[in-house]
Amino acid sequence: MKNVFIQTSNVTAFNEAVNVVSDTVKGQPGLMVAWGYAGRGKTEGSRTYCVRTQGAAYIRVFEGWTPRAMLSKICFEINGMQPNRVEQAKQILIEELGNSGNAKILFLDEADRLSMTNIEHLRDIHDETGTPIVLIGEPSLYGRLTSKRRIWERVTRVVEFKPVNTEDVMLFGLKAAELKIKPDAANDLVRRCKGSFRMLYHLMVDLERKTRANKTQDVTLEMIESLPNRRLAPTPEESK
């Protein structure tokens, strides 16, 4: 399997929304929320955007972060400093990000782990500097933010990462393993991976082995049906 990144409809919507908040004039709301269930490509989409974009900083949130830990980590990503005090770190960030010559955009992945206190610190930084901030996480993040009016009013773009679709499966199979997946087979893979790109990857590894053994690049429905049962967890919709 090749290590590839494909431009899905989710990624396209994400990139377009980030481009909009990146152009926000200082003093205007410029927060963004990207949410969706695990395995739908949020992390890879945001990391890829950061790698390709000058001035973008990617921060993965750790469980149980205090304000000091969060602000110190953001400082480190911005200028290599790691202040020990909350107010010191916050002031450094405001000065650094408020400098018009240091245009930045912050991505905080797994932001559903953040406490509301930490999110309020991020709001302060955004209000003082105009720096766009993209919060990325699972559905609980969306629900928590909508319940806080003073934060939600600053959110100008929301992107939901939807389940993997047939076109995603066919494109991924072709680019990652040079497999030609027929539409009915792709539909069955969509059902089997239950919306998750992570699970699709494992299924594609199984398929690559099978096609090599059969000396073919064509993937049929019969081939999909002969794959081992991975005992997938129910989809979020099925577990309601």
Q: How far is CA 119 from CA 58, 76, 116, 133, 223, in A?
A: 16, 18, 5, 11, 48
214, 11 contact by CB (below 8 A): no
| pLDDT for 226 | 87
Would you state the structure tokens that stand for residue 3, as one six-digit string? Answer: 């290590």
| pLDDT for 160 | 97
Distance CA 194, CA 232 (A): 8
- For 93-141, give the secondary structure using H, E and C: HHHHHHCCCCCCEEEEECHHHCCHHHHHHHHHHHHHHCCCEEEEECHHH
| pLDDT for 232 | 53
| pLDDT for 29 | 80
| pLDDT for 64 | 95
Per-residue pLDDT in tens (0 to 9) along the chain, 240 residues: 888 888 899 999 999 999 999 887 666 788 999 999 999 999 999 999 999 998 899 999 999 999 999 999 999 999 999 999 999 999 999 999 988 666 689 999 999 999 999 999 999 999 999 999 999 999 999 999 999 999 999 999 999 999 999 999 999 999 999 999 999 999 999 999 999 999 999 999 999 999 999 899 999 999 998 887 765 555 555 555
Among positive and negative, which fits the CA dihedral 200, 202, 208, 214? negative
Distance CA 187, CA 211 (A): 18
Q: Which CATH number fits domain 166-225: 1.10.1060, 3.40.50, 3.30.2310, 1.10.8?
A: 1.10.8
| pLDDT for 99 | 80
Distance CA 219, CA 226 (A): 11
Would you state the structure tokens that stand for residue 95, as one six-digit string? Answer: 């000065």
Give the domain 9-160 fold: Rossmann fold (3.40.50)
Domain segments of the chain as ranges = 9-160, 166-225
| pLDDT for 170 | 95
Query: DSSP assignment of 167-228, as one string?
Result: HHHHHHHHHHH--EE-HHHHHHHHHHHTT-HHHHHHHHHHHHHHHHHHT--EE-HHHHHTSP
